[in-house]
């Protein structure tokens, strides 16, 4: 695939804030020629006469006006990010001077790049497949170590390789069936359905494994949706402030201070938490507070993780019991707060109460949620909480030893479509349908998987995907 609009594009590739260095990137067939018009080096050497992948000291000028002192990197295609001639101007990082350099580049022949257009050109010029291109966007927006590793893995082509292997097996069997149907005298398909089913079952298993990673992939990419629950004055807001390291939530001795959901993003042990402090759970006649309580309950239903905060210095009441019932069967950590005071509620008390609430024949009694003694005031127990959090979500659940995680909704949808198509193949085999029925659904699966890597995808969708990228990438 070759992409050539006969245009050279340019954009600022660094953040628009004052910094040591700012980079203006230019790519396209005229990029070196445009650079020659505005670059002044020692002895008036032209960049067009220099070797590829070299850096040159000089000045960017608009006629006789010197704009900035720069280092210019010259890279000739096809050995560049986009596959085209590329020039990167490293200038001083002041917002005004970087914009001025870009304006000069555009004045002398380039046009402003659209969001994601550099990576779009890399994709269309065959420098990367679509899954790798999407990984670039994920890499830029990664908010934790695990999301970063997952994006790098996908950028290296792990998803591409897995999908390509599955597609190769599908097209092999499709080609065999089509050839046999065209030449039945020489190629027999007797009993082929049974042989095909073995392969299809394997492929369904492979796709099922990829689909099983989607939830973990979302957590890696977006963070763990975490809700703090507890009765009023249990210390929910104080704990949230302790996690954040700053006073973001209002803390008073007045019950019902928190009436709405306060959302914050924190990073603990390399794990991103989208944490929500909620109104205290209790029966109330206050209309505004009741709305807050209802919100808290609804958020808890869809949460990846619930932090149940208990005031350990006072007896359990009906509000605590209701929350204990609410978190049964969910990923939750029970935090016994105010451990710096005389503790009335201990781990043993909670364990006994949970056992009482469990059905007699339930197997969940062996899988109690972790219980930690903490103190928001003394900031104790936080390290233990962080370790347990890491153990819950990553030890034995998420690994990075050659594991592939699907973090993209579009890719997940394509996998689901391929999965359904392969299931139809098995249904046709079991019903004894003619072989041409097999090939129809096999090709559908092949096409769906091809959309992940961009081999079977329309122009409109390509434009939509890259429009979400940042400018200059």
CATH code of the domain covering residue 291: 3.40.50.300
- 111 and 150 in a common domain: no
Instruction: Please say if the pLDDT value at position 5 is more than 70.
Output: no
First-residue to last-residue Cα distance in the chain:
20
Annotated binding site for K(+): 233, 252, 254, 257
- 60 and 179 in a common domain: no
Q: Is residue 448 part of a domain?
A: yes
Per-residue tokens: 195: 């042989």
Mean pLDDT along residues 64-84: 95
Could you give phi then psi for residue 195, rounded to 5 degrees?
A: -65, -45
How many domains is the chain built from? 3
- 189 and 85 in a common domain: no
- The proportion of the chain whose per-residue pLDDT surpasses 90, expressed as a percent, equals 31
Annotated binding site for GTP: 233-238, 252-258, 277-280
Instruction: Please say if the pLDDT value at position 26 is more than 50.
Output: yes
At which of 105, 127, 149 does a domain end?
127
Q: Is residue 48 part of a domain?
A: yes
Annotated binding site for (6S)-5-formyl-5,6,7,8-tetrahydrofolate: 25, 88, 127, 473
pLDDT tens-digit series, residues 261-300: 577 777 776 677 888 877 666 555 555 556 666 777 777 7
Mean pLDDT along residues 5-22: 87
Q: Is residue 4 part of a domain?
A: no
pLDDT: which is higher, 436 or 33: 33
- 344 and 242 in a common domain: yes
Question: How does residue 398 score in pLDDT terms, banded at 50, 70 and 90?
Answer: very low
CATH code of the domain covering residue 32: 3.30.1360.120
Could you give phi then psi for residue 40, rounded to 5 degrees?
A: -125, 115
Query: Which of 35, 29, 25 has the alpha carbon at shortest distance from 78?
Result: 29
Question: Computed over its alpha carbons, how large is the radius of gyration of the chain?
Answer: 29
- 155 and 33 in a common domain: no
Sheet containing strand 271-277, strands side by side: 262-268, 271-277, 224-229, 305-311, 332-337, 371-373
- 200 and 240 in a common domain: no
Annotated binding site: 25, 88, 127, 233-238, 252-258, 277-280, 473
- 232 and 345 in a common domain: yes
At which of 369, 393, 417 does a domain end?
393
Domain that holds residue 424: 135-213+406-454
Instruction: Please say if the pLDDT value at position 361 is more than 60.
Output: no
Helix H or strand E segment including 337: strand 332-337
Upper half-sphere CA count for residue 24 (Cβ side, 13 Å): 30
Mean pLDDT rounded to a whole number for the chain: 81
Instruction: Please say if the pLDDT value at position 254 is more than 50.
Output: no
Mean pLDDT along residues 30-53: 93
pLDDT tens-digit series, residues 144-163: 666 666 667 777 778 888 89
Upper half-sphere CA count for residue 141 (Cβ side, 13 Å): 14
Instruction: Please say if the pLDDT value at position 399 is more than 50.
Output: no
Annotated binding site for Mg(2+): 237, 258
- 179 and 203 in a common domain: yes
Q: Is residue 471 part of a domain?
A: no
Question: How does residue 258 score in pLDDT terms, banded at 50, 70 and 90?
Answer: very low
pLDDT tens-digit series, residues 161-190: 889 999 999 998 988 888 888 777 777 778
- 119 and 26 in a common domain: yes
- 342 and 262 in a common domain: yes
The most confident of the ranges 5-9, 100-104, 276-280 is 100-104
Q: Is residue 319 part of a domain?
A: yes
């Amino acid at each position: 695939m070759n992409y050539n609009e006969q245009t050279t594009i340019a954009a600022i590739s660094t953040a628009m804030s004052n910094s040591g260095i700012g980079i203006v990137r230019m790519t396209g067939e005229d990029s070196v020629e445009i650079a020659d018009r505005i670059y002044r080096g020692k002895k008036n050497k032209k960049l067009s006469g220099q070797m590829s992948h070299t850096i040159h000291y000089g000045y960017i000028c608009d006629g006789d006006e010197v704009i900035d002192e720069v280092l210019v990197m010259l890279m000739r295609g096809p050995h560049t990010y986009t596959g085209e001639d590329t020039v990167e101007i490293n200038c001083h990082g002041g917002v005004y001077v970087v914009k001025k350099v870009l304006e000069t580049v555009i004045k002398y022949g380039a046009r402003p790049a659209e969001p994601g257009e550099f990576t779009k050109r890399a994709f269309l010029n065959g420098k990367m497949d679509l899954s790798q291109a999407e990984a670039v966007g994920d890499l830029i927006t990664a908010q934790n170590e695990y999301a970063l590793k997952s994006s790098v893995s996908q950028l290296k082509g792990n998803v591409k390789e897995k999908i390509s292997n599955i597609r190769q097996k599908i097209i092999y069997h499709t080609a065999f069936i089509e050839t046999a149907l065209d030449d039945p005298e020489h190629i027999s398909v007797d009993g082929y359905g049974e042989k095909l089913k073995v392969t299809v079952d394997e492929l369904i298993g492979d796709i099922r494994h990829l689909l099983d990673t989607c939830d973990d992939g979302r957590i890696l990419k977006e963070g763990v949706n975490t809700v703090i629950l507890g009765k009023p004055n249990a210390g929910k807001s104080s704990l949230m402030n302790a996690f954040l390291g700053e006073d973001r939530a209002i803390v008073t001795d007045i019950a019902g201070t928190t009436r709405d959901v306060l959302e914050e993003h924190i990073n603990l042990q390399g794990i991103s938490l989208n944490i929500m402090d909620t109104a205290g759970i209790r029966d109330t006649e206050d209309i505004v507070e009741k709305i807050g309580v209802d919100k808290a309950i609804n958020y808890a239903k869809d949460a990846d993780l619930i932090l149940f905060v208990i005031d350990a210095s006072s007896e359990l009441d009906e509000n605590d019991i209701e929350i204990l019932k609410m978190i049964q069967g969910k990923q939750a950590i029970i935090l016994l707060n105010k451990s710096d005071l005389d503790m009335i509620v201990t781990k043993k008390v909670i364990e006994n109460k949970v056992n009482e609430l469990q059905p007699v024949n339930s197997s969940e009694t062996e899988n109690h949620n972790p219980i930690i003694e903490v103190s928001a005031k003394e900031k104790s127990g936080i390290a233990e909480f962080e370790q347990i959090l890491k153990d819950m979500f990553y030890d034995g659940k998420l690994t990075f030893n050659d594991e592939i995680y699907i973090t993209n909704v579009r890719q997940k949808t394509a996998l689901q479509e391929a999965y359904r198509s392969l299931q139809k193949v098995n249904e046709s085999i079991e019903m004894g349908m003619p072989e041409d029925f097999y090939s129809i659904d096999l090709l559908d699966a092949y096409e769906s998987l091809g959309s992940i890597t961009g081999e079977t995808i329309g122009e409109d969708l390509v434009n939509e995907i890259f429009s979400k990228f940042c400018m200059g990438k």
